[in-house]
Amino acid sequence: MRSTFVLLLSFLLVFTSCSDNGKKDKSLVPDSVGNINSLQVITPNDLWNGATGEAIRKHFAAPADGLPQDEPLFSMNQLQPEIFTGFARSNRLFLYVTLGREDKVTLATNEYAKPQTGAIIKATSEEKLIELINKNADKIIESFYKSEIKERQRRTSISLLKLDTLKSLMGVSLKVPTAYRIAKATDEFFWLRKDLKDGTTNILVYPVPMDMIKSDSTAVGDIINIRDSIGSKLLPVEDDSAFITEDAYAPYLFKTTIDGKFAYETKGTWEVKDAWMGGPFINYAVKDEKNNRYLILEGFTYAPRASKRDLQFELESILNSAKFE
């Protein structure tokens, strides 16, 4: 009798966890967990400690762009495959790398928890594993990045700062957490700040004429000139110094879109001239053709004793929430 009950219960669990077509019903998976940019790597110890592990670290622990000190793209934790069961499967990001009977890379969504993004890399030899990692790392990292931006924005949306003034002055809305406050608001310059234990994170919004960024070939120099002219005039610093782009390191420049509009994305470091102050910034110059302008959306951090990757990532997620009216 007991064995019959167990059999019926097992059948019921299998039945209720599948959809009508026999596939796993992912709506029943538990909520995911994990800090922002925390990656669970599932691979045997011998692979992790060898060339395969080196290939994984080369890509997924590469230094994040635009930070004053090296910080990895992802904080990684390695697990043996046999431990990857139950609660251990609930991390929001996972990378499963192992030897198998085929050479294959699979991106998985909400496989064991939700929201969750995973990548499964299997190969018939270690050499092929490394080849697949090197070939597919950029695509996987992009998938992880999009997932984490959404999660950061979801957390922000729990408690939003009311910013009707920004919409009326600049014609754009941002989803900003209530931890921020308005430091300055005029027709030409909007400044938001969040106080940290030792420092601040900051958001700037301001328009510039379309002709101030002339072409792709001059974009980096043009954006630096815009930042430095605005920063030196409108951001107060002591001893008549100036808030400028640090010239010791060339900024990274990318092309992207914000709310469907073309944008130059610039990542680099700023400094206060002749003073021991500096930090990272991310700057979006969004092409707003309707209003014949570029709208500058910038986030920068001053936190000399803190890691800055996740602080900048929060700013990046906020700026990517921009909606033009």
205 and 238 inside one domain = yes
150 and 180 inside one domain = no
pLDDT (tens digit, 9 = 90+) per residue, 244-286? 666 656 789 999 999 999 999 999 998 876 666 788 999 999 9
As a whole number, mean pLDDT of residues 198-225 equals: 94
Q: Is residue 314 a part of any domain in this protein?
A: yes
Helix axes of 126-156 and 309-319: crossing angle, nearest 10 degrees = 60
The rounded distance, in Å, linking the Cα atoms of 320 and 284 is 9
- The yes-or-no verdict on residue 242 having pLDDT over 80 is no
Domain boundary residue, one of 123, 156, 189: 156
* Residue 11's pLDDT band (cuts 50, 70, 90): very low
Q: Is residue 309 a part of any domain in this protein?
A: yes
Output 75 or 228, whichever has higher pLDDT: 75
195 and 284 inside one domain = yes
Candidate from 32-46, 65-79, 157-171, 224-238 with smallest mean pLDDT: 224-238
Rg (CA), the chain: 23
* Residue 102's pLDDT band (cuts 50, 70, 90): very high
CA distances (Å), origin 200, targets 173, 195, 246, 315:
22, 5, 18, 12
Residue 90: half-sphere exposure toward Cβ, Cα within 13 Å: 11
As a whole number, mean pLDDT of residues 148-157 equals: 97
DSSP three-state, residue 317: helix
The rounded distance, in Å, linking the Cα atoms of 56 and 62 is 9
Q: Looking at the 3D structure of the chain, how many domains does it have?
A: 2
The rounded distance, in Å, linking the Cα atoms of 265 and 226 is 14
DSSP three-state, residue 157: coil
188 and 134 inside one domain = no
CA distances (Å), origin 117, targets 19, 35, 41, 240, 248:
21, 14, 12, 49, 37
* Domain CATH code at residue 111: 3.30.379
180 and 319 inside one domain = yes
21 and 148 inside one domain = yes
68 and 151 inside one domain = yes
pLDDT value, residue 178: 97
Give me the domain span that covers residue 24.
Answer: 14-156
- The yes-or-no verdict on residue 3 having pLDDT over 80 is no
How is residue 298 written in tokens?
């910038």
55 and 132 inside one domain = yes
pLDDT (tens digit, 9 = 90+) per residue, 34-69? 999 999 999 999 999 999 999 999 999 999 999 999
pLDDT (tens digit, 9 = 90+) per residue, 296-308? 999 999 998 899 9
Q: Is residue 5 a part of any domain in this protein?
A: no
Q: How far separated are the first and last CA of the chain, in Å rounded?
A: 67
Domain boundary residue, one of 156, 175, 198: 156
As a whole number, mean pLDDT of residues 82-102 equals: 96
User: Could you tell me which of 188, 187, 254 has the C-alpha nearest to residue 226?
Assistant: 188
The rounded distance, in Å, linking the Cα atoms of 176 and 91 is 26
Q: What is the mean pLDDT of the chain?
A: 89
Q: Is residue 242 a part of any domain in this protein?
A: yes
- The yes-or-no verdict on residue 92 having pLDDT over 50 is yes
CB neighbours of residue 167 within 10 Å: 14
User: Could you tell me which of 77, 93, 75, 84 has the C-alpha nearest to residue 33?
Assistant: 93
250 and 285 inside one domain = yes
How is residue 293 written in tokens?
């302008």
pLDDT value, residue 29: 86
Answer left, alpha or beta for residue 251, where phi above 0 means left and psi between -120 and 50 means alpha: beta
As a whole number, mean pLDDT of residues 225-250 equals: 68
Strand residues in the chain grouped as ranges (E): 38-42, 75-79, 93-99, 104-109, 117-123, 172-173, 181-185, 190-196, 199-209, 243-245, 252-258, 261-272, 278-288, 293-302, 323-324
As a whole number, mean pLDDT of residues 308-323 equals: 98
Helix axes of 51-60 and 126-156: crossing angle, nearest 10 degrees = 30
CB neighbours of residue 138 within 10 Å: 10
Q: Is residue 2 a part of any domain in this protein?
A: no
Q: Is residue 7 a part of any domain in this protein?
A: no
Q: Is residue 1 a part of any domain in this protein?
A: no
* Domain CATH code at residue 183: 3.40.1000.10
Question: Could you give the dihedral angle defined by the CA atoms of residues 192, 195, 201 and 204, in that order, rounded to the nearest 10 degrees?
Answer: 10
Q: What are phi and psi of 24, to 5 degrees?
A: -60, 130
